Amino acid sequence: MNAFEIRKKKSDELTDYFNKFLSDNKISFFESGYEFYKSLENANDKIKKLNDNTSKFVRYYPDFTYIGKDKTILIEVKNSSGIEKECFENYKMLEDLFNLNILLLLKNKKLCKIKDIVFNKAKSYDVIAEMNVPVTNEIWKEPRLLEKNEYYKYLQNYKNKKKYTSGCSFAFIDFKNTNFYDLDILLKYQ
C-alpha cells in the first residue's frame, strides 16, 4: 500500500469505529459528508479540484449529522495529527455565522469542539521535504505559498519518500492541550 492508501485505511477504520458506536447505542444519525454521496461521472473526484466557495462548502461539510433529543451536532472524523486550513476555516465559519454545533472526532477516538482546538507552533523547516515552507500566524504551514518550482519540489520530495501530502495549508493539533471528550458525551443528548 502507498502512503495515501494507508492513510485512507486508517480513516476508514476510525469512521467504522464511530459508525459502530452510533449503531450500538441506537443513536440517530446521517452520513452527511460528500464521501458518502453516490455520484455519476466522478463527481467526487471533480469537486476536489474546484475552488469556488460552494465546492469548498460541500467538500468540507462534516461527515456525520448526529440527531439528539434536543440538538443536532455535525461531526467530522479526522484520522490525522493536523487539519487543513480551509477545512478548519469552514467549520469555524459554520460555527460562528450560523451558530452550528460542530465536533471533530480525532485519531485518539475522542471528540473536541472547534473552539477548543489548540495548535502546535509550526516550524518552517519541513523534515520530509527537506526545505523551508512558509508559516502564517505561527501555526499554518502553507506550501502553496512557495514559488511554483519550489512547490513541485516539495510535492516530489514527499513522493520520493513514499509519504502522502495534499500540498494544502495545514496545522498540527496539540493533543496535550486541546480539550477532549469521550464519545459517551453523545449519550447525554439522546
- What tens digit of pLDDT does each residue of 116-174 get? 999 999 999 999 999 999 999 999 999 999 999 999 999 999 999 988 888 899 999 99
Contacting residues for 105 by C-beta, under 8 A, at least 6 apart: 14, 18, 75, 76, 77, 78, 111, 183
Is 84 found in the same domain as 124? Answer: no
Is 136 found in the same domain as 55? Answer: no
Is 87 found in the same domain as 16? Answer: yes
**Predicted confidence band at 2 (pLDDT cuts at 50, 70, 90)?**
confident
Residue 42: per-residue pLDDT: 80
**Predicted confidence band at 40 (pLDDT cuts at 50, 70, 90)?**
low
Q: How far apart are CA 87 and CA 59, in angstroms?
A: 8
Q: Which of 140, 145, 147, 143 is nearest to 172 (CA)?
A: 140
Is 100 found in the same domain as 37? Answer: yes
Alpha-carbon separation of residue 124 from 84, 139, 171 (angstroms): 16, 10, 12
Is 50 found in the same domain as 93? Answer: yes
Q: How far apart are CA 8 and CA 79, in angstroms?
A: 9
Q: How far apart are CA 63 and CA 78, in angstroms?
A: 9
Is 124 found in the same domain as 52? Answer: no
Is 88 found in the same domain as 65? Answer: yes
Residue 33: per-residue pLDDT: 87
Is 140 found in the same domain as 182? Answer: no
Is 183 found in the same domain as 93? Answer: yes
- Chain centroid to Cα 174, Å, comes to 14
Q: What is the tens place of the pLDDT at every residue in 46-89?
A: 888 888 888 888 888 899 999 999 999 999 999 989 999 999 99
Alpha-carbon separation of residue 78 from 11, 37, 101, 137, 151 (angstroms): 7, 18, 17, 22, 25
Is 156 found in the same domain as 95? Answer: no
Q: How far apart are CA 101 and CA 96, in angstroms?
A: 10
Mean pLDDT of all residues in the chain?
Answer: 92
Is 166 found in the same domain as 151? Answer: yes
Which structural domain, as residue segments, surrounds residue 125? 119-172
Q: Give backbone dihedrals phi and psi of 6, rounded to 5 degrees, phi first.
A: -65, -45
Q: Grid coordinates in use for 22?
A: 452510533
Residue 165: per-residue pLDDT: 85
Is 86 found in the same domain as 13? Answer: yes
**DSSP letters along 75-93, please?**
EEEE-SSEEEHHHHHHHHH
What is the CB neighbour count within 10 angstroms for residue 115? Answer: 10
- Residue 119 exposure: Cα atoms within 13 Å on the Cβ side: 20
**Predicted confidence band at 36 (pLDDT cuts at 50, 70, 90)?**
confident
Q: What is the tens place of the pLDDT at every residue in 10-30?
A: 899 999 999 999 999 999 999
User: What CATH number did the domain enclosing 44 receive?
Assistant: 3.40.1350
How many domains does the chain fold into? 2
Q: What is the tens place of the pLDDT at every residue in 95-115?
A: 999 999 999 999 999 999 999
